[in-house]
Amino acid sequence: MAVCIAVIAKENYPLYIRSTPTENELKFHYMVHTSLDVVDEKISAMGKALVDQRELYLGLLYPTEDYKLCRYGYVTNSKVKFVMVVDSSNTALRDNEIRSMFRKLHNSYTDVMCNPFYNPGDRIQSRAFDNMVTSMMIQVC
Amino acid sequence: MDASEEPLPPVIYTMENKPIVTCAGDQNLFTSVYPTLSQQLPREPMEWRRSYGRAPKMIHLESNFVQFKEELLPKEGNKALLTFPFLHIYWTECCDTEVYKATVKDDLTKWQNVLKAHSSVDWLIVIVENDAKKKNKTNILPRTSIVDKIRNDFCNKQSDRRSLPLFSRCCSSSRTPWCSTTNWTPSSLSMWSTSGPGVSVPPGALDCWVFLSCLEVLQRIEGCCDRAQIDSNIAHTVGLWSYATEKLKSLGYLCGLVSEKGPNSEDLNRTVDLLAGLGAERPETANTAQSPYKKLKEALSSVEAFEKHYLDLSHATIEMYTSIGRIRSAKFVGKDLAEFYMRKKAPQKAEIYLQGALKNYLAEGWALPITHTRKQLAECQKHLGQIENYLQTSSLLASDHHLTEEERKHFCQEILDFASQPSDSPGHKIVLPMHSFAQLRDLHFDPSNAVVHVGGVLCVEITMYSQMPVPVHVEQIVVNVHFSIEKNSYRKTAEWLTKHKTSNGIINFPPETAPFPVSQNSLPALELYEMFERSPSDNSLNTTGIICRNVHMLLRRQESSSSLEMPSGVALEEGAHVLRCSHVTLEPGANQITFRTQAKEPGTYTLRQLCASVGSVWFVLPHIYPIVQYDVYSQEPQLHVEPLAEDFWAQMCRDFPLPASKQSVLQFSSDPVYWSWRQTPQDSLLAGIPQRVKFTVTTGHYTIKNGDSLQLSNAEAMLILCQAESRAVVYSNTREQSSEAALRIQSSDKVTSISLPVAPAYHVIEFELEVLSLPSAPALGGESDMLGMAEPHRKHKDKQRTGRCMVTTDHKVSIDCPWSIYSTVIALTFSVPFRTTHSLLSSGTRKYVQVCVQNLSELDFQLSDSYLVDTGDSTDLQLVPLNTQSQQPIYSKQSVFFVWELKWTEEPPPSLHCRFSVGFSPASEEQLSISLKPYTYEFKVENFFTLYNVKAEIFPPSGMEYCRTGSLCSLEVLITRLSDLLEVDKDEALTESDEHFSTKLMYEVVDNSSNWAVCGKSCGVISMPVAARATHRVHMEVMPLFAGYLPLPDVRLFKYLPHHSAHSSQLDADSWIENDSLSVDKHGDDQPDSSSLKSRGSVHSACSSEHKGLPMPRLQALPAGQVFNSSSGTQVLVIPSQDDHVLEVSVT
């Protein structure tokens, strides 16, 4: 499943980023950050079409070889981006599964936003969101 | 088998490498369909369903059909792309079940087994329908049955499903790099290179392979596309460039080509292994000057060549990324490059890439990359010897919570080590921004309103939050202060007051964005405030509006905010005014630092910069925001005198205590609001009793020396009561009592001297004095009612407006103050607590004087020793008091009446001058130190002797027992003269004939309550002999209008003065109107009884004819004391008339 999940604000700063295993955290940060290039490109290239189709899923952004990792992107209507790094050695993952994972993420993010004590733009520190992300990540022993 | 060896020429020239499709089964059949197939197949567009979420594409595909041989099938693990058979087709024309069973089925089974053995799952069985054969053998089973059989035999459920996308899978596997719209991602290469499980390769071999593959693909693209095409598709190829760069880098690191010393023997061995593993170059490129193979070989062969190739590739990649706007990726490659440069000991080249990357991360707020890049940058700057930059980066890292405690301590120590070094040039300062070192959290002033007088001490306490992981000793902390002389002009406005109304005098500073630099788009929130400008004269609103306080933050250029790493922006301000605090150790976390300063020049001081010095390192907060100011004022000495007793001001201060220091602000404020407060209590001093007055001396900048005194010039009717025990209290400016001293008061005839206690500047001296306003006769002259008074006292000069208000007296005291050559004149207003009225009461000829004393004040008094004396010289007049009590309380807002009977033996005097006096003292106080003057009231009673007695009677009609409504009754009026000629009779109305005096009187019957209708004439003029017991009887008819006990109509008497009066008629009219109780409306519209108009005869007709401006007879009311109505108050019973059907009852 996913090895890194990031929620990135409209202004491109991270609202939430979690990866596993933790010792590679920095690498994932760089990885997610560079993915924003492609996210931006995709949004601007098919921005209009996306809005019309209500298609939030951006598809594959970038494969990274050494980890056999693929990065997928998703953008909400408020231009908040979700980036997910997925271990591609697990070939069982299909597009639809990625989509559903993003949808789950989106729903949980919406719950976070509905919290009246959460200021939009702050870092996400919700336990519920954390738990959901954990459930989507590989448990590395 | 290589595709290029195939003899068939490509139909579409771009299709150089075609996917291999094997054909088994009936070769003749295949040969017959081959031409059609090879022509038609590429024309059919087909869908390429691509993996990894890419959109499907429609492509045209050619295939290379070869005969099926077992050797073609790939061995285990070998997945060479170009020789890989993607699809296996079995061709058959069989339409006969027998033939199928006999031969085709076996053949198919064999074919299938071979495929299975090589785990090839993509196959297709084609049954060709032959029309000719079909016609010949009509009896055979339909073709479909063969298909069914084949399906039953070879296609189980799963493979059946798989057989559907067969051809498309074939297409998907045959990626075509020459198709320029294809998105080339290195993943495919990676998959090929690593998908074979169990294949062990030496380290780096795969990298070599990937590098070569990438470059070959790129070379192919370059070979078949023109420049413009390539440029427009950088987005699709840049991934390969980046990938190749990355692989070359890892090869370089692997083979020791990046290390400073060059490769060691182990590295060289590894390199040799790798080069050997590459094998020989393929013949088709062997002769070219440049090929990926040669490039790789060259790069691995020497450090220099590697550097050249690596830099080429990196720069090309960065350039491409930048050109298509993938800045983040470009920066990331740049960071790799910087790492390489650092390895190569070229920090000057690395710096720009690190700075670029860092700027990007800072702008987007990525904390971990920031920390990591900063660490790299710190190393780079250290190597470059950029001390200032290094120290700044170190301070940022020392405060970075993403680093370990050890790392933070290390960077902090770097700063401290540098700071403790003896500097080469003394006085040289390294100026660094403060925010990474420590943050200003809050600030508070003591006094909390940040207003201090000249010479006063001001404390500023700040909370600094140290970001350092260890305690840091700071030599000094300095706040630069900007001084401006503003004359305190704006502080009086409400704007100033609101600004300084911080609840506890604490100013909080917004936390800086340092730990998580958020995006530059997140501007600070608007700070909007209401603003009111009031006119200083009348406090009316001049302007109002909204002020944005932090406009300079909002409107500054965006670029400047992103240059967080640039230390050059911080400039040290040198100012004359500083707040300083030396030798402070800042512990990690919050620290309290207190600055003390003595205020010097008056004006406004603005805190501008905060600096902390650690050795030669200065941490500077360039701007303290929000703006922090304190004010120093200078104040003129002032004297206030105000009533104390139930002082509104004092009450206000007690009920709504203001902070002590605020009171001092108010006292020198000229804000009209406060002045109006102070003016309201002025009426509260009471005349006649001792009253306390509070003196407040605000010393301001003046120091009260020994011997300074206030000289009060005595007002005539006001005494300053000297009391031995009066004390003066000296308060500091913050209302803290500082000393107390006895007050020495010396009084002479003209001047009272109060010696002030010694007091320093900006202190307040308070003391109280008792003053007594002596009652002065004219002021107390009082009001009289009209009963006995011929002339009203309206013109009396007093301040009484309504009956409820007290009469006031102003006493002006001129005070000489030691600080001024001018005298201060203070007006004290005293109110007379009583209002007195008198009235004359008659009973026939007996006369009484009634005095009513009304207490208007809030206090209760005790009245004693009431006297009424005749100040005239009529000796035979006696005033006999009918009051029994000598002591009498008079409560607040209540009245007390005193009555005396007038008695005389001889002829009464025409007028009587009386003086009423009554002693009074406040009921609450038992003992007064001084004896108080009694309250006096003088008045005059004139014409009090009764001259005429008027008696009216109503009789029922003759023969009737009672009066009845509607029937005429007779009214008898008997006017009797009670005395002989007196002094008071001698006026114009008196006529003399034959030794007999007579006077003309006019009577009038008026019924104001409309109970009676007067029939016939209601008035008439009579000539009354001036002699005792002379009577005149008048008879008239009246008709009762209602039944019941009716009061008799009023009978009024007037003096009838002849028209040759000296006065003009106009004046008379005025006097009548003024005495409106007589309701004289004789000049015309007496319409209700028009009959009486005629009966007045000549007098009235003359009156009407002479109406305009000509003299006419005047009427003068007789003073009430001269007429006694003996029938007043009597009633007569009227019964309803019998034939009345409607009974009207009026209740009045």
ipTM: 0.93
Do B728 and B738 contact (CB within 8 A), yes or no?
no
> Tokens 């073609």 — which residue?
B72
The residues, any chain, with a CB within 8 Å of residue B1092's CB and separated by 6 or more, are B1014, B1016, B1017, B1018, B1019, B1086
Q: Can you tell me the distance from the alpha carbon of B414 to that of B435, in angstroms, rounded to the nearest whole number? A: 18
Question: Which residues of B lie closer than 8 Å to A, measured between beta carbons?
Answer: 52-54, 185-187, 190, 194, 210, 235, 239, 243, 321, 324-329, 332, 361, 364-369, 372, 516, 518-519, 521-522
Q: Could A72 and B53 be called an inter-chain contact, meaning their C-beta atoms sit closer than 8 Å?
A: yes
Residues of chain B short of pLDDT 50, as ranges, are: 1-13, 134-141, 143, 157-176, 178-198, 490-498, 501, 514-521, 558-568, 646-682, 777-802, 1061-1108
Task: Check residue B793 and report its DSSP letter.
Answer: -
CB proximity under 8 Å: A 43-102 to B: 59-60, 62-63, 65, 68, 70, 72, 88, 95, 98
Q: How far is A81 from chain B (nearest CA, A)?
A: 14
Q: Could A95 and B54 be called an inter-chain contact, meaning their C-beta atoms sit closer than 8 Å?
A: no
Task: Check residue B104 and report its DSSP letter.
Answer: I
Q: Can you tell me the distance from the alpha carbon of B1083 to that of B1103, in angstroms, rounded to the nearest whole number? A: 8
The residues, any chain, with a CB within 8 Å of residue B851's CB and separated by 6 or more, are B836, B837, B838, B868, B897, B898, B899, B900, B916, B937
The residues, any chain, with a CB within 8 Å of residue A36's CB and separated by 6 or more, are A8, A12, A81, A83, B328, B364
Q: Could B52 and A13 be called an inter-chain contact, meaning their C-beta atoms sit closer than 8 Å?
A: no
**Per residue in A109-127, pLDDT tens?**
999 999 999 988 888 999 9
> Among all residues of chain B, which has the CA nearest to that of A59?
B53
Residues of chain A positioned with their CB less than 8 A from the CB of B53: 59-60, 72, 95, 98
The closest alpha carbon to B135, from B95, B172, B81, belongs to: B95
Residues of chain B positioned with their CB less than 8 A from the CB of A61: none
Residues of chain A positioned with their CB less than 8 A from the CB of B326: 34, 37-38, 41
Q: Is the peptide bond before A21 cis (omega within 30 degrees of 0)?
A: yes
Cα B242 off chain centre by? 56
Residues of chain A positioned with their CB less than 8 A from the CB of B214: none
Given B328, B365, B368, which is nearest A26 (Cβ)? B368
> Tokens 């993952």 — which residue?
A93
The distance in angstroms from the start CA to the end CA of chain A is 14
Q: Could B519 and A72 be called an inter-chain contact, meaning their C-beta atoms sit closer than 8 Å?
A: no
Cβ count within 10 A of residue B28: 9
Q: Can you tell me the distance from the alpha carbon of B495 to that of B513, in angstroms, rounded to the nearest whole number? A: 30
Dmax over CA atoms of chain A, in Å, equals: 44
The closest alpha carbon to B423, from B613, B621, B620, belongs to: B613
Q: Can you tell me the distance from the alpha carbon of B60 to that of B54, in angstroms, rounded to the nearest whole number? A: 18
Candidates B50, B51, B187: best to mutate against A (most CBs of A within 10 A) is B187
CB proximity under 8 Å: A 100-119 to B: none
Given A25, A40, A121, which is nearest B522 (Cβ)? A121
**Per residue in B535-593, pLDDT tens?**
777 778 888 888 887 777 777 654 444 344 444 455 666 667 889 999 999 999 999 99
Q: At what angle do helices B347-364 and B367-384 cross, to 10 degrees?
A: 150
Residues of chain A positioned with their CB less than 8 A from the CB of B367: 14
Confidence (pLDDT) at B502:
52
Q: Could B210 and A12 be called an inter-chain contact, meaning their C-beta atoms sit closer than 8 Å?
A: no
Q: Which two three-digit tokens encode residue B724?
A: 């031995």
Cβ count within 10 A of residue B824: 16
> Tokens 């006065």 — which residue?
B1063
Residues of chain A positioned with their CB less than 8 A from the CB of B187: 63, 65, 70, 88
Q: Could A121 and B366 be called an inter-chain contact, meaning their C-beta atoms sit closer than 8 Å?
A: no
Does the beta carbon of A13 lie under 8 angstroms from any beta carbon of chain B? yes
Q: Can you tell me the distance from the alpha carbon of B4 to that of B83, in angstroms, rounded to the nearest whole number? A: 10
In a 3-state reduction of DSSP, which class is residue B616?
coil
Given B325, B327, B368, which is nearest A29 (Cβ)? B368
Query: Between β-strands B64-67 and B57-59, what pairing exists: parallel, antiparallel or unpaired?
Result: unpaired
Q: Could A14 and B365 be called an inter-chain contact, meaning their C-beta atoms sit closer than 8 Å?
A: yes
Q: Could B186 and A121 be called an inter-chain contact, meaning their C-beta atoms sit closer than 8 Å?
A: no
Q: How far is A141 from chain B (nearest CA, A)?
A: 23
Candidates A13, A67, A124: best to mutate against B (most CBs of B within 10 A) is A13
Q: Which two three-digit tokens encode residue B141?
A: 């089973």
Q: Could A33 and B239 be called an inter-chain contact, meaning their C-beta atoms sit closer than 8 Å?
A: no
Q: Can you tell me the distance from the alpha carbon of B246 to that of B187, in angstroms, rounded to the nearest whole number? A: 14
Residues of chain B positioned with their CB less than 8 A from the CB of A37: 321, 325-329
Q: How far is B369 from chain A (nearest CA, A)?
A: 7
Do B1079 and B1054 contact (CB within 8 A), yes or no?
no
In a 3-state reduction of DSSP, which class is residue B965?
coil
The residues, any chain, with a CB within 8 Å of residue B1002's CB and separated by 6 or more, are B1019, B1020, B1021, B1022, B1053, B1054, B1055, B1056, B1115
Q: At what angle do helices B327-343 and B347-364 cross, to 10 degrees?
A: 150
**Per residue in B1097-1135, pLDDT tens?**
333 333 333 444 556 677 888 887 888 888 888 888 988
Cα B931 off chain centre by? 59
Task: Look at B871 and A134; give whichever has higher pLDDT.
Answer: A134
Candidates B49, B50, B51, B52: best to mutate against A (most CBs of A within 10 A) is B52
Residues of chain B positioned with their CB less than 8 A from the CB of A41: 235, 324-326
Residues of chain B positioned with their CB less than 8 A from the CB of A93: none
How many CA atoms within 13 Å lie on the side-chain side of B524? Answer: 20
In a 3-state reduction of DSSP, which class is residue B1004?
strand
Q: Which two three-digit tokens encode residue B1034?
A: 């008048």
Q: Which two three-digit tokens encode residue B700?
A: 């301001």
Q: Could A34 and B328 be called an inter-chain contact, meaning their C-beta atoms sit closer than 8 Å?
A: yes
pLDDT band at A16 (very low <50, low <70, confident <90, very high): very high
> Among all residues of chain B, which has the CA nearest to that of A69?
B187
Q: Could A26 and B366 be called an inter-chain contact, meaning their C-beta atoms sit closer than 8 Å?
A: no
How many CA atoms within 13 Å lie on the side-chain side of B373? Answer: 30
Confidence (pLDDT) at B355:
93
pTM score of the predicted model: 0.58
Helices (H), B60-156: 97-99, 105-117, 131-136, 143-154
